[in-house]
Amino acid sequence: MDAHKIIFFFILLHVTLSSSTTSVVDFCVADFNYPGGPAGFPCKNPANVTVDDFVFSGLSVPGNTTNIVNASAFLAIDVTFPALNGLGLSMARLDFGVGGVIPIHAHRVSEVILVVEGTIIAGFIGSDNTAYYKTLNKGDIMIFPHSLLHFQVNVGDSPALAFVSLNSANPGFQTTTVALAANDLPTDIIQKITLLDAEQVRKLKSIFGGTN
Ligand SMILES: *[C@@H]1O[C@H](CO)[C@@H](O)[C@H](O)[C@H]1NC(C)=O
Ligand SMILES: *[C@@H]1O[C@H](CO)[C@@H](O)[C@H](O)[C@H]1NC(C)=O
Ligand SMILES: *[C@@H]1O[C@H](CO)[C@@H](O)[C@H](O)[C@H]1NC(C)=O
C-alpha cells in the first residue's frame, strides 16, 4: 500500500467510525413527562414500550385543504409520533387542493419529497439566490438541501398528494410570511426589514393574526 492509499484508508476509517452510532440503547420513545432538550426527550421506560409505539397511522388521513393556501401539511415528528425521538428522521403528508400551495418555508435540516398524486412545481432558493424549481409528477422525488427556503405549488387541475421525509425528529417549520406577520413585530420595522408597503404588511398581519 503506498502512502496515499494508507492515508485515504485512515480517513475513511475515521469517517466510518465517527459517523457510526454510539447509542447504547435500541430506541428512546419520548416520555413527555419531562422537558425536551437539544437531543430530544428523555426515554419512556422500555418495559412499557410496545410495538404500537412504533406504528403511526396519522398520515393515512387526508388533510383539510379548506384554508387560505388550499393545502395542508400533517407532521409525523417526535411530538406526534414519539418513537421518532432520538432517531434523526421524520415524515409529513402534504395535501393540495386545486391551486394549493405550501408557502415558502425552511427547516433546520434537509427534506426529500415524493409526489404520489398530481402535478406540482417544487423548488428551493440557494444561498446565492439561485432558484432551482421544476414540475414534478407522480413518482418523482426532489431534495431540498438543509435549511434552504423551499415551496410546493399544485399546478395540476386535480388535487395533489405528496409525502416528505426530513432528517430530524423535529425539523422545525418556519414559513417566511407567517414568521413576519403572525407576531407583534411593529409594522414599521417589518416595512424597513422587508421593503414591503405598510398596507401589505397590515394585510398580512390581519390574515395571520399579528398585532402592532
Ligand atoms: C409502566 O406501566 C406500569 C403499568 O401500567 C405503570 O404502573 C408504570 O407507572 C409505568 N412506568 C413508567 C415509567 O411509565
Ligand atoms: C375543513 O376546514 C374548514 C375551515 O376550517 C371547516 O369549515 C370544515 O368543516 C373542515 N372540514 C372537515 C371535513 O373537517
Ligand atoms: C383555493 O380554492 C378556492 C376554491 O376552489 C379557489 O377559489 C381559490 O382560488 C383557491 N386558492 C388558490 C390560492 O388557488
- Encode pLDDT of 203-212 as tens digits: 999 999 999 8
Ligand 1 mean position to 39 CA, how many Å? 24
Indicate if 130 and 184 belong to the same structural domain: no
Rounded Cα distance between 193 and 39, Å, is 33
Q: Cα torsion at 187, 189, 190, 191 (round to 10°)?
A: 90
Q: Which of 66, 68, 70, 74 to mutate to test the pocket of ligand 2 (most atoms within 8 A of CB)?
A: 66
Indicate if 165 and 103 belong to the same structural domain: yes
Tell which phi-psi region holds residue 117, choosing left (phi > 0), alpha (psi between -120 and 50) or beta: beta
Q: Which amino acid is at 94?
A: L
The ligand 2 site (C-beta within 6 Å) comprises 64, 66
What angle (nearest 5°) sits at the alpha carbon of residue 13, between those of residues 11 and 14? Answer: 65
Query: Residue ranges for the binding site for Mn(2+)?
Result: 105, 107, 111, 150
34 within domain boundaries: no
Q: Which domain holds residue 190?
A: 178-208
150 within domain boundaries: yes
Indicate if 94 and 137 belong to the same structural domain: yes
What integer pLDDT is reported at residue 4 of this predicted model?
57
pTM of the predicted protein model: 0.84
**For the purposes of burial, counting CB atoms within 10 Å of the CB of 208, is it exposed (0-12), middle (13-18) or buried (19 or more)?**
middle
How many domains would you assign to the chain? 2
Spell out the per-residue pLDDT of the chain, length 212, in tens: 555 555 444 444 444 444 445 778 889 999 999 989 988 999 999 999 999 999 999 999 999 999 999 999 999 999 999 999 999 999 999 999 999 999 999 999 999 999 999 999 999 999 999 999 999 999 999 999 999 999 999 999 999 999 999 999 999 999 999 999 999 999 999 999 999 999 999 999 999 999 98
Q: Nearest bound ligand to CA 69?
A: 3
